[in-house]
Amino acid sequence: MRSTRALQQPSSKNPRVQRGPRSGPLPFGERNVRAVRSPDGLDRWVSRQAAALIVGCLTAWGGPAGAQSLPDFASRVASEQAVVVSITTVSYRTPFALDPDDAQLGTAGPYRGRAVPTSAATGRVRRSLASGFIVSPEGHIVTSAHAVGPKEEMTVRLADGREFVGKLLGADETSDVALLKVDAAGLPSAEIGGNAALAVGDWVAAVGAPFGLERSLTAGIVSAKRVLPESGNFLFIQTDVAINPGSSGSPLFNLGGQVVGMNSMVYTTSGGYMGVSFALPIDMVMEIANQLRAQGQVVRGQLGLSVQELTVGLAHAFALPGGGARGALVARVRQGSMAERAGVRLGDIILGFEARSDMSYDEIQRGIGAKRAGDIAALNVWRAGGVKRIEVQVTARTMPPALTAPAVARAPRGDRLGLVFSSRASGPRNPADEEAGVEVIDTHGPALRAGIGAGDRVVALNDLAIRRIEDYDKAIARLPRGAVVAVLIVRDGRRRYFALATNEER
């Protein structure tokens, strides 16, 4: 189970929930309604009215006109459990290896980041468990890539107790989807649903092997659908279904018994479930699985650019009309890419594709991800006070080369944005180095409040590239008093714009 550290720490290490006397209205279904003591039989009248109100509410809630009844998971749990498998792996590792899916039955305590002893002689560790689900009667199984590879041995246990050696047909680390194959036939396979009809508030359930407890059912609702930039910019289904170590790769079912997602990760500070889980949509999972089955790898298209979500402050900095924050801000255009050749620039705001110019950031991200090599992406772009249409040919995605540049010390200096720098005054060693810029060694004022810190590098102001301190000095000198500027920062290899207002109190 992958985990992403939560933004807020709990108030105490061991929070406790203390039960006190119940107060407020009695829950639906209570047999006794307490009457208010009053003279002249008013207590009996109040009691009758309260009982009538409860009956009326129950009728309206579950009656033909209304609305929703309680979800029924029991009628389908047997067929759902039949398509879920448990995956045990044996790997060669160094002693006391750490892994988020390490779980050993009969051992109490948290498992995220726990040291698991290995054999001193062989360095082998038995890692149990991950989950998966059967997608074809011929024995194809979908699971999480991080839970199964690379491994030396892999055993797949079916719901009926049979065990098979699993063969890894392919794994896509970008999406965290893997496809396995066992030598079997006539297996029960999952009914694959669709994601178009899945809505926030819908009931969903997961069947997996948390902590090695096979065929465990947990249930909840869809909490949101959101793109997580730190996890490949994929759209995720956020739920409150309990997912714990051993449940990675388990299916997410709707009330009809159809698989609508694959459980992939949680937000946590403890390594276990804390109420926020994420599943990959089944439409995307099956598309990736089909590519892995056909060619053993996933080939994705790329435009040669990186985008980030547009905020109200950044929209103001780029003079985008309407005061909204729809669209995607171009934070990087790779040198030599098709996007650069087509004329896309740093600081452009992509408003949409084809005939649309009102797409959200999530829609644009999904649109970019859906493009395949050879497609033409018609972008509607906001630049310099107007909308331009730019057509970019999609190419196959390749890994960019590592980019490095020497740092040259310079005396610290402050400026109107609250930045103190260490400069690359001599310029980058490689003229084609896109990662040049001005290194931040301290912040105060606007930069500090925005979250810029030591080690960040400023590589652009609005759409003007900053390769050395002289570029920055010229750009900052042209800013009018009280201006809001978009500062592009590189941090840990990732780029992001920050909207800063100039500090005129210095």
Task: Choose between 406 and 332: higher pLDDT.
Answer: 332
Residue 5 predicted with pLDDT over 50: no
Asked whether the beta carbons of 492 and 435 are under 8 A apart, the reply is no
CA 364 – CA 161 distance, rounded (Å)? 45
**248 noted as active-site residue:** yes
Task: Choose between 347 and 112: higher pLDDT.
Answer: 347
Helix, strand, or coil (residue 47): helix
pLDDT of residue 505: 53
DSSP state of 273: -
Which two tokens mark 490?
A: 């590189």
Average pLDDT, the chain: 76
Residue 47 predicted with pLDDT over 80: no
**176 noted as active-site residue:** yes
**Catalytic member of 146, 264, 415, 471:** 146
**Catalytic member of 102, 176, 348, 415:** 176
CA 476 – CA 169 distance, rounded (Å)? 54
CA 104 – CA 54 distance, rounded (Å)? 48
pLDDT of residue 113: 30
- Of 37-41, 104-108, 274-278, where does mean pLDDT reach its minimum? 104-108
**Range 120-146 average pLDDT:** 77
Task: Choose between 70 and 355: higher pLDDT.
Answer: 355
CA 80 – CA 207 distance, rounded (Å)? 7
Integer angstrom CA distances of residue 238 from 3, 18, 19, 402, 476? 13, 29, 30, 34, 42
The per-residue pLDDT for range 153-200, each reduced to its tens digit, is: 788 999 999 989 899 999 998 889 999 999 999 999 999 998 888 999
The per-residue pLDDT for range 71-84, each reduced to its tens digit, is: 888 888 999 999 99
pLDDT of residue 325: 75
CA 217 – CA 165 distance, rounded (Å)? 25
The per-residue pLDDT for range 354-409, each reduced to its tens digit, is: 889 888 887 887 777 777 788 899 999 999 889 999 999 988 875 443 333 333 33
Helix, strand, or coil (residue 380): strand
- In degrees, to the nearest 5, what angle opens at C-alpha 484 toward C-alphas 481 and 486? 135
Selection from 90-104, 130-144, 315-329, 358-372 with the highest mean pLDDT: 130-144
The per-residue pLDDT for range 81-117, each reduced to its tens digit, is: 999 999 988 664 444 333 444 433 333 332 233 333 3
**Catalytic member of 86, 131, 216, 248:** 248
The per-residue pLDDT for range 402-454, each reduced to its tens digit, is: 333 333 333 344 688 888 886 544 444 444 455 678 899 888 778 877 888 88
Asked whether the beta carbons of 165 and 104 are under 8 A apart, the reply is no
CA 210 – CA 217 distance, rounded (Å)? 10
Looking up tokens 């797949």, which residue turns up? 156
Task: Choose between 25 and 258: higher pLDDT.
Answer: 258
φ and ψ at 56, to 5 degrees?
-65, -40
pTM, two decimal places: 0.61
CA 278 – CA 268 distance, rounded (Å)? 11
| Residue 90: Cβ within 10 Å count | 16
**Range 248-267 average pLDDT:** 93
**Range 473-486 average pLDDT:** 88
Please provide the size of the chain in residues.
506
pLDDT of residue 425: 44
Residue 344 predicted with pLDDT over 90: yes
Confidence of residue 41 (pLDDT cuts 50, 70, 90): low
Q: Summarize the chain as % helix, strand, coil (round to 5).
A: 15, 35, 50
147 residue type, one letter: A
Question: Which one, of 217, 209, 311, lies nearest residue 257 by Cα?
Answer: 217
CA 421 – CA 442 distance, rounded (Å)? 7
**Range 266-274 average pLDDT:** 76
Asked whether the beta carbons of 142 and 135 are under 8 A apart, the reply is yes
Which two tokens mark 18?
A: 């203390």
Which two tokens mark 109?
A: 């305590």
pLDDT of residue 128: 56
Residue 492 predicted with pLDDT over 80: yes
pLDDT of residue 2: 62
pLDDT of residue 486: 93
CA 399 – CA 301 distance, rounded (Å)? 12
Residue 132 predicted with pLDDT over 90: yes
Strands 259-268 and 2-5: parallel
